[in-house]
Amino acid sequence: MRAMRPGTWLVWGVMAFFLIFVAGVVGSVVVSSFAVSWFDGWLPEGWTTRWYGASWEEFDLPSVLLVTFQVSVLVVGISLLIGVPASYALARRDFPGKRVLMLLFLLPIMIPPVTYGIPLATVLYKFHLAGTLTGVVLANLVPSVPFVILVMTPFIEQIDPKIEAAARMCGASTRAVLTKVLAPLLIPGMLAAGILVLVRTVGMFELTFLTAGPDSETLVVALYYSVSAAGIRAQQQVDAMAVVYTLSMLILLVVALRFVNPTQLVTQVKEQPAE
């Protein structure tokens, strides 16, 4: 077998060190969340699950998880409802300023959210929307709608317009073309965009933190408050909250990898036969 070059060994060594470091950090948090006490030594003095129960009651996790679910579903649904038609128009029409418009869509994704989150929160507070579920959803729509547009536009461009023209020549109405021809072709792209927006929304801290109130905070904001809120609480309780958040994100990522493979989206479109 051919020996690997020193540069290859270096790359593999750096990757292995990074993975071991990440596994050590995550593992220490998980172990701490089940520890009775852990001050020195490789393992805790005892094991318990009471920190999860304490976090569940003190931070009202059922309510927080429900709000997280509501915000995520609303953001995904509204983003697709606005973004897919806009993507279709951008993919099928050429007009002056199209590149400038696409650049504007890139801005909320490329720049740090806090740069536009503060003035956005100021506007929402002015209209008494901040601190409510509506305000949190509106704030998260700012980067989510452009994200859907940027994902769906190149996907729609891969769909041959002749398919739509053939359907119209066969007597299909505009509604039939949209529902029976385009919709099946767009489902893979919409599924990809929807799941990616879902993961992004659950993990979005800055915009949610700036606009959330006591009854509209998501899980990531509740985790921040568990660390910074006044009072004395055991580190194991904070670690339990972190494990709950990590597990929720891990489940979303597993679902995304199970049902969505963005590198195969174009292939899936090309493989669709024209009926």
d(CA 130, CA 216): 9
Residues of the chain with CATH 1.10.3720.10: 58-271
What is the predicted pLDDT for the residue at 265? Answer: 44
Q: Where does the pLDDT of residue 229 fall: very low under 50, low under 70, confident under 90, or very high at 90 and above?
A: low
Question: Is it the case that residue 118 has pLDDT exceeding 70?
Answer: yes
Q: Of 237, 253, 220, give the one whose Cα is nearest residue 67.
A: 220
User: Among residues of the chain, what percentage have pLDDT more than 70?
Assistant: 91
d(C-alpha 45, C-alpha 36), whole Å = 6
Burial pattern 80-98, b for ≥16 Cβ within 10 A else e, equals: beebbebbbebbeeeeeee
pLDDT, residue 231, reads 59
Q: Is 76's pLDDT higher than 60?
A: yes
Class of the CATH domain delimited by 58-271: mainly alpha
What single-letter DSSP state applies at residue 236? H
Q: Which residues pair with 238 in a beta bridge?
A: none
Identify the pLDDT of residue 121: 92
Which has the closest alpha carbon to 41: 28, 22, 26, 23? 28
Q: How confident is the model at residue 100 (pLDDT cuts 50, 70, 90)?
A: confident
Q: Does residue 264 have a pLDDT over 90?
A: no
pLDDT at residue 243 in the model:
87
Closest by CA to 55, choosing from 249, 252, 225, is: 225
pLDDT digits (tens, 9 = 90+) for 29-64: 888 888 887 777 777 778 888 888 887 887 788 888
Q: What is the mean pLDDT of the chain?
A: 82
Q: Is the pLDDT of residue 241 over 70?
A: yes
Residue carrying the six token digits 């609303």: 74
> What are the tokens at 102?
């696409």
